[in-house]
Homo-oligomer: A and B are copies of this chain.
Amino acid sequence: MTTQQDLAFPRPLTFVDVVIFCVQESQLKVLLIKRKPSDKLPNQPQWGLVGGFVDIDKDENLEATALRKLKEKTNVTSPYLEQLGSWGSRTRDPRGWSVTNVYFALISPEFASPLQHGGNAEDAQWVTIEGSGVKYALAFDHHEILETAITRLRNKVEYTSLPAYLMPNTFTMAELQKSYEVVLGRSLEKSAFRTRVLSTDLLEPIDDFKLGSNRPAQLYKIKNRANAVFFQRTFKPV
């Protein structure tokens, strides 16, 4: 494993891709990039995930590459970021044996700076998730990766506080519940939701209310953005 022969092994191409989710207008969306057609990749669909090569001079580790890519596209610097896995094969990219290390990020669209359109050679866009994918064909194996990310997200939302990372700084209980419902694609029971969320150490009520033409709603913030909370059961037994 450590001979000169080994180090001379041909090395696969190494990428990092980031599946960036947000909830906007009651829809789960993913940030996709539309690239200009290229000589090297003539037959690839133009839409794809945010990503690129690891820059071994700039990037200390894989997560740094993911954060760099996220910052470039959204200007968000401290998202919820979790590794999804890696995909590597001889055929996934026509340029040769390649591996992509995939992260998924949850952000509040309020924190993302307006996405640049045109100008660049790239066009970034929030695209609505429909079922287990999007309406566009995606380059490489990005559709499979996106599907895995959606599945992972939906699974974890059943028993964690992940949707809290999709929220702005302060929000009401009903707004948080709505985020859960958007991701899960089904409605949840109000009082059970409330009891469960409040029984954990996730939220802190702040000294403010959201007003409207009805009873004011308590506003909350996340107690500790660094730690997701795990519940002991899923929301709905099958």
Residues of A within 8 A of B (CB): 1-3, 6-7, 9-14, 35, 38-41, 51-56, 59-62, 83, 85-91, 95-97, 99, 101, 232-234, 237-238
B83 touches A86 (CB 8 A): yes
A192 to B37, CA, bound (A): 59
Residue in B closest to A233 when the chains form the complex, CB atoms: B233
A79 to B55, CA, bound (A): 35
Q: Which residues of B contact A41 (CB under 8 A)?
A: 2
Q: List 8 A-B contacts (CB under 8 A).
A: A2-B35, A9-B53, A9-B55, A14-B14, A61-B89, A86-B86, A99-B101, A232-B233
Q: Which residues of B contact A237 (CB under 8 A)?
A: 232-233
B99 touches A14 (CB 8 A): yes
A85 to B66, CA, bound (A): 14
